[in-house]
Chains A and B, each alone.
Chain A
Amino acid sequence: MFLLQASSTSPGVSTAMFIGTLGMLVLIISLVIFIIMHQRKVLRYQLRLQHLEQEQQSVLINASVRMQEEERQRIAADLHDDAGPLLATARLYLNENLVNQDKNTQLQSIFQARQILDDTIQLIRNISHSLMPPTLKNFGLESAITDIMQKISGSGVINASSRFHEYKERLKPEKELLVYRMIQELINNILKHSNASFIHITQNMQDSKCMLRIHHDGRGIVQADFDKLNKSNIGLGLKNISSRLRVAKGKIFFEKDGSQTYYKVTLEIPQDDPYNN
């Protein structure tokens, strides 16, 4: 390293050495500074993204907790306001004075009490069904949605129908329930806000994804409105849809048809992985 031998230097070589060394140094230092600055910029952007993600997560969790509380309140109200008075009335008919009454009055009281108990059983069954629809559990998503559509159509106000084209293989029960709740929420919204004259649901498969499309001819929202509502403090139902979509690893798209005559909501649910239980 230190043994150096040379006899003469050509003119310009020293300058070339100096400029070359300086240039290389500038190049390396600039590169290192550029990489540090770039990484800092990227990290700052990621942190901002993470912050937004956390905010969104917190909004969804709040919505989910609120939904649970509302559901509990509804069940409590149903039990307290409907089942409670019915059972109290049945108890009145079957009070201790009944043994002192004549046989006819006794039979009438027992008959009345039985009627009230039947009503109570029916009421509790309705509450139970609203929590977990038996059709969905026993016959699957297709039957459960067809059931809802028939009930809506039966009112005679809206023409509601559904058609499942490729649903030979059912989704997992928990995923079916998630999809069912999302469809229920979307239909509720259409019934409440859209003033539509028809609702039509179709299902088919596309790239191992279950595609559910809801068409209606009322007032609707587009994707930008959905994103805006999702970030705001209003639109609890839509936030619940977002939470459920996260669990189901699905996507939702709100669009207006090209002819501007109807709205389309597309739910994209990935098919279950057979190797992932």
Chain B
Amino acid sequence: MTRTIEDFFFYLILFADFLFICLYFFFFKYIRANKNLTIILLYCVVNIVVNSVLEFASFNNPLLLYSFFTLSEFFLFSTFIMMSIINTSMKRVIVVTQILFSIFIIVYATYAKPRSIDSIPVGIETILILIFSFYYLYEQMSKVENQFIYNKYQFWIITGMMIYLAGSFFIYIFANLVDRKTLHQFWFLTNVFYTLKNILFAIGILIYVKQKKNPAPENLQPYLN
């Protein structure tokens, strides 16, 4: 493999997940009570395991692993969003979607025969996660608060998810329709978004730790709440 910027990103993503994990354990005493961040930790662990298996172990049926990864990613991202929103009805919708999506993934993994990756489940997953993320942002926009949205760690993590999923959406959708060379060219972009996502996750964890170290007053605007 020639040494190019594409290769740099390829190797970078193998270690990108470790950034969040390292920060998590470095600031563990501040984070241990936070279940939301544990979900992201779990997601990073799943990423490392799946990437390592695909890269270093010979695997006869990668579709099963892709499906497992897509399902885990959807499940963990949607659970994170579910725990970040307030509306109970929307939480229920997310739970129902998780069940339906799990059934769909099982059926797809059993019967579908894609050429390279599981484009359809990834596409559906992206659309659903983007819808849930938009809902989170809408809820934050409608809420009367004294805290800027970018001072919340959830905002950075959800923005990371959105940029990664939205950026890779078309590449995954067309993955089965393009030749290997073209896909390699575009795959570089998914690596960029993947790295960006992990950087945003790291910013999220740092913001959370900063707030834990210097807690802000609960409410500065008594008249408005």
Binding site for B on A (CB under 8 A): 1-10, 13-14, 16-18, 20-21, 24-25, 27-29, 31-32, 35-36, 38-40, 42-43, 46-47, 49-50, 53
Contact of A9 (CB < 8 Å), options: B168, B177, B189: B177
Across-interface contacts of B179 in A (CB, < 8 A): 6-9
CB–CB B163/A28 < 8 A: yes
19 A-B contacts (beta carbon < 8 Å): A1-B69, A3-B62, A4-B116, A5-B116, A6-B115, A6-B182, A14-B178, A14-B182, A16-B170, A20-B174, A21-B167, A21-B168, A21-B171, A28-B166, A31-B134, A32-B159, A35-B149, A40-B148, A42-B144
Residues 152-178 of chain B, each 1 if its beta carbon lies under 8 Å from chain A, else 0: 000000010011001111110111111
Residue of B nearest to A53 (CB): B223
Sample of 7 further A-B pairs with CB below 8 A, known A4-B184, A5-B180:
A1-B54, A4-B117, A6-B177, A17-B186, A21-B167, A35-B137, A35-B149
Distance between A53 CB and nearest chain B CB, rounded to angstroms: 5
B141 within 8 A of A: yes
Tell which of B55, B149, B175 has the most Cβ of chain A within 10 Å: B149
Q: Are B167 and A36 in contact (CB under 8 A)?
A: no
Q: Is the CB of A39 within 8 A of B148?
A: yes
| Most chain B beta carbons < 10 A, residue from A6, A10, A25 | A6
Residue B120, interface by CB 8 Å: no
Q: How far is the CB of B65 from chain A (nearest CB, A)?
A: 9
Kindly identify, within residues 116 to 134 of chain B, every residue whose CB is under 8 Å from any CB belonging to chain A: 116-117, 130, 134
B187 within 8 A of A: yes
Cβ of A217 to closest chain B Cβ, rounded Å: 39
Q: Let me know if B183 is at the binding interface, CB within 8 A.
A: yes
One of A36, A38, A50 near B150 (C-beta < 8 A): A36
CA distance A29 to B162 in the complex (A): 9
Interface of A, helix, strand, loop or mixed by DSSP? helix
- Please indicate the chain B residues that have their CB under 8 angstroms from the CB of A38 in the complex: 141
- List the 9 closest pairs (A to B, CB-CB), nearest first: A20-B170, A24-B166, A9-B178, A28-B166, A9-B179, A9-B182, A5-B116, A6-B179, A21-B170
| B178 and A17 within 8 A (CB) | yes
Residues of B within 8 A of A (CB): 50-51, 54-55, 62, 66, 69, 115-117, 130, 134, 137, 140-141, 144, 146, 148-150, 159, 162-163, 166-171, 173-180, 182-187, 189, 221, 223-224
User: Which residues of A are found within 8 Å of B173, using beta-carbon distances?
Assistant: 20
> Residue of A at shortest CB range from B114?
A5
Point out the residue from A35, A43, A49 that lies within 8 Å of B146, measured CB to CB: A43
A32 to B137, CA, bound (A): 8
Pick the most buried of B144, B170, B187: most chain A CB atoms within 10 A of its CB. Answer: B170
In whole angstroms, how far apart are the Cα atoms of A8 and B141 in the complex? 45
A17 to B186, CA, bound (A): 8
Pick from A7, A13, A24, A39: contact of B149, CB under 8 Å: A39
B62-A20 in contact (CB<8A): no
Identity of the chain A residue whose Cβ is nearest the Cβ of B47 in the assembled complex = A1
CA distance A83 to B186 in the complex (A): 98
Name the residue on B nearest A47 (C-beta). B221
Residues of A within 8 A of B55 (CB): 2
